[in-house]
Amino acid sequence: AGEHVLQAPQEAFGMEQSAAPQMQTQQMEHEPPSLAKAQWAHPIDHLEAGSVLIANENQGGLFYGKVLLIVEHTWEGTTAVCINSIFPGGLTEVATNQGSYLEQPLLNAFANTDVAYGGNMRMGEYSLLHGFGEIHGAQKIAPGVFLGGEHGLANEVMQGRFNPDEALFVKGKCQWYPGRLEAEIQSGKWYVAAASSDLVLRNAGAAKKMNGQPNDLWKDILMCMGGYFADVATKYAGNLKP
């Protein structure tokens, strides 16, 4: 009894405001998002490539405590990859355990590079998330964030021009038909945010500076968003499983 129950903001995606969300809006105005030099995040009211989805604290199952990076959003639907669910071991071990076939040059260059469970679609596909920059086969997702270009980067590794620890393979993807993800957001399953490349690339070699908890990306993004979202992070992060 007497426990404060957090109420999610409902302004985004055309949701009607009530008295409680109005109070939260006022609170958020007085508590702006934390904008560190290299790490920042703020809520947005639309979907676009490069934005992130933060699972609602009450969402269970596959996406419990997860952060997804949207890599494509068009009239044909939305594709995202989970960036904070890391398999034990590096690429060679994961590929062996998962029965995946990868070309030997990739295994030679990225043997110990971390691999994330990207999603439950296209599970046989491995894509490389990195901040190296423009290279053949890579798609620019957001400023400083790129996906793909594995073979070009393998050559850069072998030439000593790229550190394989500064990348993250993602195995599989998440996909939604047109309108499906928007409906999930309206129902409260996801928070949507823009975030700095240092946060997006947290597990791809970016600096890890947040209060001695380098792997808690879910909490760190919400804390940077400030206000109501920081309250959620503080209240629920301790209950999240590794």
What digits encode the pLDDT tens for the residues 131-171?
999 999 999 999 999 999 999 999 999 999 999 999 999 99
State the Cα–Cα distance between residues 92 and 108, nearest whole angstrom. Answer: 9
Block residue for tokens 């890890």: 208
Residue 18 predicted with pLDDT over 60: no
pLDDT 10s digits, 175-186: 999 999 999 999
**What is the pLDDT, as a whole number, of residue 38?**
79
State the Cα–Cα distance between residues 83 and 117, nearest whole angstrom. Answer: 8
By three-state DSSP, how is residue 78 classified? strand
Record the pTM.
Answer: 0.83
Residue 24 predicted with pLDDT over 80: no
* Closest among 169, 63, 60 to 109, alpha carbons compared: 169
* Strand partners of residue 146: 130, 140
8 A C-beta contact, residue 94 and residue 114 = no
Block residue for tokens 């296209």: 122
Alpha helix locations (H) across 12-116? 19-30, 91-98, 104-109
**What are φ and ψ of residue 91, in 5° steps?**
-60, -45
- The residue ranges of DSSP E strands in the chain, in sequence order, are 41-43, 52-55, 67-74, 77-82, 86-90, 114-117, 121-130, 138-142, 145-148, 167-176, 190-195
First to last CA, the chain: 29
pLDDT 10s digits, 83-101: 999 999 999 999 999 989 9
Q: pLDDT > 70: what percent of the chain?
A: 79
**What is the pLDDT, as a whole number, of residue 124?**
83
